[in-house]
Amino acid sequence: MGKFWGGNKVLLISVGIFLGGCSHNPYKAKKISTNMEKESVVSDEKIGVKDGNLVVQKKVEMAEELRRLQYEVYELEDHVYGNRKFGSKGLYGTLKDCRAKLSSKELGGDGKLMWTEPVDRVTDKETEFNFGVDEKNQIVGVSEEFLKDRMERFRKYRQILEKRQDEYEEKVDICNAALKARNHEVNVNKKPASVETDGDES
C-alpha cells in the first residue's frame, strides 16, 4: 500500500506541474472583460464598477500602442545620435563638434580631436526571417515576434536611451562651459596691453 501511494504521489505531483505549466502561457491571447457598470469618462480613462469594485480602466488598441512606443523610441534615438537621412546631428554630433572646437589650435588646443565614444544605436537589429513557401505557394521570408516580447524590448530601448540622453546633455553642457571659458581666455589675451602715462608732465 505504501508503495502504491508513493507512486500515486509522484504521479499527482507530475500531473500538477504539467497542468500548471500549461495554464501559464504569457503569450496566449486571453479573454479580457472590459464591461463596467455606472461608467464615467475621465480623459482617456473610465471610472466604473466591475465585480462590485470601483475601478479606473484604460483601454488601448495594441497596434496603436505599439506604433506609439516604437515612434517614441526612434525619435529619442535620433535626438541622441542624430539622423543622417535628415541631416540632424543629435546630442552626439553636438558633443563631437564642441570637442573639435575645444581642441582646435585657434583656442590653444593641440589640433587633435578629443576621443568620443562610438555611436551605439540600440535599435539596430537585423531581422531574422524564416524562409519557405506560404499558403499561396509563393517563396517568402517571414519574421515573427511575440507582441509581449516586442513591447518589452522597446520599453528597454526607451529606458537605455533616456539614460544616454541625460548623460550626453550633461557632457554637452560641460563642453560648452569649457568652450566659453577658453574663448574668453583667448579674447582677453588678444587685447593689447593698456599703456600707462604720467598725469603730471612738465
Q: Per residue in 128-185, pLDDT tens?
A: 888 999 999 999 999 988 899 999 999 999 999 999 999 999 999 999 999 998 888 7
Domain extent listing, the chain: 62-115+134-190
Torsion angle of alpha carbons 89, 95, 98, 104, nearest 10°? -100
pTM: 0.71
Residue 68, pLDDT score: 95
The cell for 172 is 554637452
Residues 100 and 185: beta-carbon distance below 8 Å: no
Residue 98 neighbours by CB under 8 Å, 6+ apart: 172, 175, 176, 179
